[in-house]
């Protein structure tokens, strides 16, 4: 399926701007990035785009499940093109994230989900620190 079809299937109009972003993000390669990272990539591909559009687009892509947003207490939002359930190492000093594939973690026991709620995904974060 090409990117135009992917956007249509997600319920998003394939505008010029969304196609530029889709061409960068939806190539099957897993990556972590910020809005600013993406703007730099767009610029160096010879295009340009308002930062507001980039934020709008990332929010739409995330809400449609085309990308994910990583849970991490950094001051900048970090997005992830790997939409499968998976986990991360986090170096808290640098903010660097490293993927952990789902089958590398085995959760034997999980608590009962609170009454009235549904499980919407489990994320394991292993905080790591550079050895001195």
Positions that interact with its own copies (CB under 8 A): 69-73, 77-78, 89-92, 98, 100, 104-111, 113-114, 116-131
The residues, any chain, with a CB within 8 Å of residue 29's CB and separated by 6 or more, are 81
Report, in Å, the least distance between residue 27 CB and DNA. 19
Burial annotation 32-46 (CB, 10 A radius, 16+ → b, else e): bbbbeebbebbeeee
- For the bound state, the minimum distance from the C-beta of residue 120 to its own copies, rounded and expressed in Å, comes to 4
Residue 26 structure tokens: 């939806």
Window 32 to 91, contacts with DNA (CB under 7 A):
34-36, 48-53, 55-57, 59, 75-77
* Binding partner of residue 36 among its own copies, DNA, none, CB cut-off 5 to 8 Å per kind: DNA
Residue 69 DSSP SS3: strand
- Using the minimum distance from each CB to its own copies, give the nearer residue, 83 or 124: 124
The answer to whether the beta carbons of residues 64 and 12 sit under 8 Å apart is: yes
Half-sphere exposure of 9 (CA within 13 A, CB side): 8
**Least distance from DNA to the Cβ atom of residue 87, Å:** 21
Residues in contact with DNA by the rule CB under 7 A: 8, 12-18, 34-36, 48-53, 55-57, 59, 75-77
């Amino acid at each position: 399926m090409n990117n135009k079809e992917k956007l249509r299937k997600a319920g998003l109009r394939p505008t010029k701007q969304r196609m530029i972003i889709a061409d960068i993000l939806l190539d099957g390669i897993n990556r972590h990035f910020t809005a600013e990272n993406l703007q730099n990539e767009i610029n160096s591909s010879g295009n340009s785009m308002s930062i507001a559009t980039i934020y709008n687009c990332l929010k739409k892509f995330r809400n449609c499940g085309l990308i994910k947003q990583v849970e991490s207490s950094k001051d900048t939002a970090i997005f992830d093109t790997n939409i499968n359930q998976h986990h991360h190492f986090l170096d808290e000093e640098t903010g660097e994230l490293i993927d952990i594939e789902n089958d590398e973690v085995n959760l034997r026991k999980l608590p009962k989900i609170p009454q009235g709620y549904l499980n919407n995904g489990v994320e394991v974060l292993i905080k790591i620190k550079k050895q001195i």
